[in-house]
């Protein structure tokens, strides 16, 4: 069983699910980020509980050699979309896609099928052509509502 599968199993016991995990390096510091979610969203208490559950596991099975920090958080409102499950979970939301040719497309995600996504603003897009994808929160919220900062 992979480390991510083990983490997912621990999280399910806590009423949460693994959304994503990544290895990162910031300022010369190695970070193992684990993004969790649950119906209604992940709050700070759930993240703290998940961190306590996951920490002993990764101490025994480190994600990479050397020192690192564990960060557990919600994927956020403007969450990254990497897997087919991520895309399916974002149906009905406004997304921003960056294609491999650097084209940027923004619109409401209407449909996700085997190997494609369809936005209200485009023809079906082959998922293999998508370099980056993310949910865009502010697009719907601020449309027609001027901010007065």
Q: In whole numbers, what is the pLDDT of the chain averaged over residues?
A: 90
CATH number of 84-142: 2.30.30.100
Predicted confidence (pLDDT) per residue in 106-138, tens digit: 999 999 998 999 999 889 999 999 999 999 986
Q: How far apart (Å, rounded) are the C-alpha atoms in residues 109 and 96?
A: 9
Mean pLDDT value of segment 56-75: 91
Count of alpha carbons within 13 angstroms of residue 28, beta-carbon side: 0
Nearest to 105 by CA among 131, 78, 137: 131
Q: Could you say which architecture CATH assigns to the domain 3-73?
A: 2-Layer Sandwich (3.30)
Residue written as tokens 């990764």? 58
Residue 90 has pLDDT above 70, yes or no: yes
| Contacts of 139-143 spanning 24+ positions with Cβ under 8 A | 139/94, 139/106, 140/94
Mean pLDDT for 51-79 is: 92
So where are the chain's domains?
Answer: 3-73, 84-142
């Amino acid at each position: 069983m992979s480390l991510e599968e083990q983490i997912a199993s621990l999280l399910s016991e806590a009423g949460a699910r693994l959304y994503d995990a990544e290895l990162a390096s910031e300022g010369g510091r190695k970070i193992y980020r684990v993004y969790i979610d649950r119906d209604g969203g992940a709050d700070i208490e759930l993240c703290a509980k998940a961190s306590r559950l996951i920490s002993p596991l990764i101490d025994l099975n480190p994600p990479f050699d050397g020192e690192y920090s564990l960060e557990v958080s919600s994927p956020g409102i403007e969450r990254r979309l990497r897997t087919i499950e991520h895309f399916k979970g974002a149906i009905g939301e406004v997304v921003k896609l960056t294609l491999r040719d650097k084209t940027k497309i923004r619109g409401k995600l209407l449909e996700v099928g085997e190997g494609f996504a369809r936005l209200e603003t485009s023809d079906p897009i082959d998922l293999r052509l998508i370099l980056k994808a993310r949910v865009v929160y502010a697009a719907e919220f601020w449309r027609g509502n001027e901010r007065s900062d």
